[in-house]
């Protein structure tokens, strides 16, 4: 009887051990939309139709205040794919190539690959830069990805109604209400490829990066998405009459935008919104796949933009600023087993925190050093406070602009304050039109914020 008892205990312990060993590792579906600002229904935008992104936002944790570290595609991606700030990656433009500049850095998908995951980059996750002729290179990184794929626009998908909004002065500033289906555009093809890879690797751990090109320029999308936005219904940005004068470096100098009429302004916004809805539809196909394959219980989903964008605010129609509109971006996370799913997190997080958070959730050890901190606790309790501040920077020629965003304030220095200082009170001025930097009552506050900027720079 005693021997039978011990054999039973050993058998039970063995079964527990086998169960633990056989427990599936978490998959990761990592979705990045290029140039996507918070113009989404789930972020309170009443113009834009984004039912599928709203759907994952209702299921996961929607971060109200998530901030990129650099408002340009390559620099932002190089930062969040390494968990390092731009000062540490050394990437400050779209021309540099992270893998060439810092070959020994272990990127997020690379770490998953090293730990036995199937890894794939579909579309644009890693930004590769441009070649000597100025032509964009492929977005592949063999060290990080087992498989790479990127669609191409079809002949039919290049036809339709559209025009260049600057008369050709800016080649990128064009829209096309395109003929054909979703699959005549790269993002439609890429979504289909991602679905096939999820199906093929559903029984093994995967890290699939799905990088949508839209709403990035050129603003091409199938006609049905333009039809969602009648031109007469497009609302334009309005600036207060008593706004402060813009600092010289706050907005890049681009004369082509200064000649925009309301017609161009409405067409630009309409085309950008069409790109959002096009991307949203492709995201819906991915979510439907997780439903169909019953993968929600073992798949982490991240949905984000790489940085924000201006649509006429401050007279600007692009990225590359460190105003709230460019620094703040959508971030939504579904993490199985976390108690905060279905809630909003209002605490501050930064994109450098994504790497350590995902590795924390998956039981992987990130390389050292890391500039970010895991926000796993916010996925369990979104009511907890986030970081005390987020930091974003951008270059203007040889000059650097650095900005800190706290719960209430945004403070910005250009060339360490020598070329201008900005201070905005978000309790009264969410679009940052009233610069309070010259107000003497804020001197002590500005001294404190400046010290925080310099401290983060020296670390």
CB 67 within 8 A of CB 329: yes
Q: Could you tell me the fold of the domain covering 24-384?
A: Alkaline Phosphatase, subunit A (3.40.720)
Helix 262-293 / helix 51-59 crossing angle, nearest 10 deg: 50
307 catalytically annotated: no
The H or E element spanning position 11 is: helix 2-22
Cβ-Cβ contacts under 8 Å for 119 (sequence gap 6 or more): 109, 110, 112, 113, 144, 145, 146, 147, 206, 207, 208, 209
Asked whether the predicted pLDDT for residue 8 surpasses 90, the reply is no
Identified catalytic residue from 42, 68, 73, 362: 73
227-265 pLDDT, tens digit per residue, is 999 999 999 999 999 999 999 999 999 999 999 999 999
444 vs 421: CA distance, rounded Å:
14
What's the confidence (pLDDT) of residue 139? Answer: 76
Comparing C-alpha atoms, which of 127, 72, 70, 136 is closest to residue 101?
A: 127
Asked whether the predicted pLDDT for residue 17 surpasses 60, the reply is no
452 vs 274: CA distance, rounded Å:
40
Asked whether the predicted pLDDT for residue 27 surpasses 90, the reply is yes
> pLDDT-derived band of residue 23, with 50, 70 and 90 as boundaries?
low
61-110 pLDDT, tens digit per residue, is 999 999 999 999 999 999 999 999 999 999 999 888 898 889 999 999 99
4 catalytically annotated: no
Average pLDDT rounded to a whole number, residues 147-166: 97
Asked whether the predicted pLDDT for residue 403 surpasses 80, the reply is yes
Asked whether the predicted pLDDT for residue 134 surpasses 90, the reply is no
Asked whether the predicted pLDDT for residue 1 surpasses 70, the reply is no
pTM, two decimal places? 0.93
Mean of the per-residue pLDDT values for the chain?
Answer: 93
- 219-222: strand order across its sheet: 160-164, 174-178, 219-222
CB 378 within 8 A of CB 95: no
Neighbour count for residue 195 (Cβ, 10 Å)? 21
Asked whether the predicted pLDDT for residue 458 surpasses 90, the reply is no
Give percent above pLDDT 90 in the chain: 87
Identified catalytic residue from 88, 127, 201, 310: 127
Rounded (10°) CA dihedral 265, 269, 271, 272: 140
Q: What angle do CA 318, 388, 337 make, to 5 degrees?
A: 90
Phi, psi of 350 (to 5 degrees): -120, 160
213 vs 379: CA distance, rounded Å:
28
Which residues, listed in sequence order, are joined to residue 28 by a DSSP beta bridge?
A: 207, 300
Neighbour count for residue 421 (Cβ, 10 Å)? 19
132 vs 300: CA distance, rounded Å:
38
The H or E element spanning position 287 is: helix 262-293
The H or E element spanning position 207 is: strand 206-212
Give the DSSP letter string of 352-367: GGHHHHHHHHHT----
For the chain, which residues make up each domain, given as ranges? 24-384
């Amino acid at each position: 009887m005693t021997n039978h008892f011990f054999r039973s205990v050993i058998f039970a312990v063995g079964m527990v051990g086998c169960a633990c060993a056989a427990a599936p590792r978490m998959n990761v579906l990592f979705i990045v939309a290029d140039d996507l600002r918070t113009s989404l229904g789930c972020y309170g935008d009443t113009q834009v139709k984004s039912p599928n992104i709203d759907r994952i936002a209702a299921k996961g944790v929607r971060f109200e205040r998530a901030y990129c570290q650099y408002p340009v595609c390559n620099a932002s991606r190089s930062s969040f794919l390494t968990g390092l700030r731009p000062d540490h990656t050394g990437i400050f433009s779209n021309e540099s190539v992270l893998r060439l500049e810092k070959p020994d850095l272990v990127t997020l998908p690379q770490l998953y690959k090293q730990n036995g995951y199937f890894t794939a980059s579909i579309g644009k996750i890693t930004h590769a830069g441009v070649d000597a002729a100025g032509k964009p290179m492929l977005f592949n990184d063999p060290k990080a990805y087992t498989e790479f794929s990127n669609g191409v626009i079809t002949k039919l998908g290049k036809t339709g109604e559209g025009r260049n909004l600057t008369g050709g002065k800016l080649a990128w500033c064009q829209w096309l209400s395109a003929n054909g289906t979703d699959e005549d555009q790269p993002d439609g093809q890429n979504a289909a490829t991602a679905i096939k890879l999820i199906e093929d690797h559903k029984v093994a751990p995967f890290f699939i990066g799905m990088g949508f090109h839209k709403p990035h320029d050129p603003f091409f999308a199938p006609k049905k998405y333009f039809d969602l936005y009648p031109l007469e219904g497009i609302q334009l940005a309005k600036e207060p009459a008593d706004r402060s004068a813009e600092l010289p470096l706050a907005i890049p100098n681009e004369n082509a935008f200064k000649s925009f009429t309301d017609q161009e302004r409405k067409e630009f916004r309409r085309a950008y919104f069409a790109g959002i809805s096009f991307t949203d539809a492709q995201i819906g196909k991915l979510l439907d796949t997780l439903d169909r394959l019953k993968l929600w219980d073992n798949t982490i989903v991240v949905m984000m933009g790489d940085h924000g964008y201006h649509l006429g605010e401050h007279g600007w129609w692009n990225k590359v600023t460190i105003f709230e509109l460019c620094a703040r971006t959508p971030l939504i996370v579904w993490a199985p087993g976390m108690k905060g799913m279905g809630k909003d997190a209002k605490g501050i997080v930064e994109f450098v925190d994504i790497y350590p958070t995902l590795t924390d959730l998956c039981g992987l050890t990130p390389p050292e050093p890391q500039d970010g901190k895991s926000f796993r606790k916010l996925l369990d309790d979104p009511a907890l406070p986030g970081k005390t501040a987020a930091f974003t920077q951008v270059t203007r020629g040889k000059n650097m602009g650095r900005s800190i965003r706290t719960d209430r304030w945004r403070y910005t220095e250009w060339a360490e304050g020598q070329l201008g200082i900005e201070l905005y009170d978000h309790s009264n001025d969410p679009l940052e039109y009233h610069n309070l930097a010259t107000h003497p009552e804020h001197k002590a506050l500005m001294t404190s914020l400046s010290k925080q900027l310099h401290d983060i720079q020296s670390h």
